[in-house]
Structure 1
Amino acid sequence: MNNFRALIFFCGILVTLLSGCDANTIVDSNRSMPARNWNYANKVTTVIEIKDAAKPVSIYFKLRHTNDYKYANIFVLFEIKGGGQKKQTRRYEYKLAQPDGQWNGSGSGNLYTYVMPLLTNYRFPAAGKYELAIEQNMRDNPLKEISDAGIKVVSLEQRK
């Protein structure tokens, strides 16, 4: 009977691990914020290598905050540099809560998680290595109750 339980447990873990994999994900990085404080200096960065600039990607901003986050929105700066191109910086605002205070993200305990689009169906201007960076752009520094932030890049090309 114990072997049967162990087999069921192992199969459950295996299914969970395999279902979490996305063959089209190029990068999925997170940065944990010290003491849940996102400082201007704590940029979330990742480097990707683009081999074929004709293939489109989508780039997402990932965020996790606690229930004690005191704003209904967040402003971030998104920066792309590399590939022999000039650095590009864009400012984004994301609504995190409804007017009644209900969080828009998916909740688990005291944490709320978001995956929000930065660029969809985007084509890099040329092949090469690119550094992507996200910086919080609120008035508060540090921005309190941010657990972690990240960048996810997904290829829109169907893999075979």
Structure 2
Amino acid sequence: MRNSLKGLIILLALFMQACTDNAIIDTFEATKNGNWSYDKPLRAQVDIQDTNMPYHIYINFRHTDDYKYTNVWVRVSFTDPDNKKTVQREEFQLAKPDGEWLGKGSGNLYTYQLIFKENYRFPKKGKYSFVIEQNMRDNPLKAVSDIGLRIEPAH
């Protein structure tokens, strides 16, 4: 009995450690009325202290079944601690050629973690500011419920 209790405690401790989310930021912000406008970008700031560690940077994206495209174009700007700004335009596929959504679905809501940068090393310690804008032709972009940013160590 005592050994099985000890084993259960060890197993629980390992499980809890495995479930620990080590993201330094993981946000989802709702859009206004399910519409993502050019003038309503996501803004996020993150403090980077370890420049030796590689990070994965994701765009968190959630849409409803009414989203009419199989992709999304975004414009990501990030500013380093010295105020140097980098701007990048990216396209992300959201559906297969047959129209089947690639995101995780729940009801009529589909969630994605879209990889923006893999194994990225921030060049300097300090605060980085991110701005994520929709860059599609439609304004507002309808049926987008949430947008966010996730940065996690790449290990």
Q: TM class, shorter-chain normalised? A: 0.7 to 0.9
The question of whether the paired residues in 2 share the 8 Å contact of 1:30 and 1:44 is answered with no
Q: Assess, with a 3 A threshold, how the Cα gap between structure 1 residues 150 and 101 changes in structure 2: closer, same or farther.
A: same
Report the 3-state secondary structure (helix = DSSP H, G, I; strand = E; otherwise coil) of the residue aligned with 1:35.
Answer: coil
The question of whether the paired residues in 2 share the 8 Å contact of 1:24 and 1:156 is answered with no
Query: For residues 71 and 23 of structure 1, what CA distance do their matches in structure 2 show?
Result: 31
Q: TM-score, normalised by structure 1?
A: 0.82
Match of 2:150 in 1: 152
Pairwise CA RMSD: 1.7
Match of 1:24 in 2: 22
Query: For residues 19 and 107 of structure 1, what CA distance do their matches in structure 2 show?
Result: 27
Question: Paired residues, what number?
Answer: 140
The question of whether the paired residues in 2 share the 8 Å contact of 1:96 and 1:104 is answered with yes
Alpha-carbon distance, 1:21 to partner: 5.7
Match of 1:98 in 2: 96
Structure 1 ranges of 4+ moved more than 4 A: 18-21
The question of whether the paired residues in 2 share the 8 Å contact of 1:47 and 1:129 is answered with yes
The question of whether the paired residues in 2 share the 8 Å contact of 1:106 and 1:114 is answered with yes
Correspondence list, 1:19-58, <5 A = 22-58=20-56
Q: Deviations over 1:20-79 (max 9, x none)?
A: 963421000111001100001111121111112122111101111010101111000111
Query: For residues 55 and 103 of structure 2, what CA distance do their matches in structure 1 show?
Result: 23
Query: For residues 69 and 48 of structure 1, what CA distance do their matches in structure 2 show?
Result: 30
Match of 1:78 in 2: 76
The amino acid across from 1:115 in the alignment is Q
| Structure 2: runs of 5 or more not aligned | 1-15
Q: TM-score, normalised by structure 2?
A: 0.85
Report the 3-state secondary structure (helix = DSSP H, G, I; strand = E; otherwise coil) of the residue aligned with 1:120.
Answer: strand
The amino acid across from 1:137 in the alignment is N
Match of 1:142 in 2: 140
Q: Assess, with a 3 A threshold, how the Cα gap between structure 1 residues 23 and 145 changes in structure 2: closer, same or farther.
A: closer
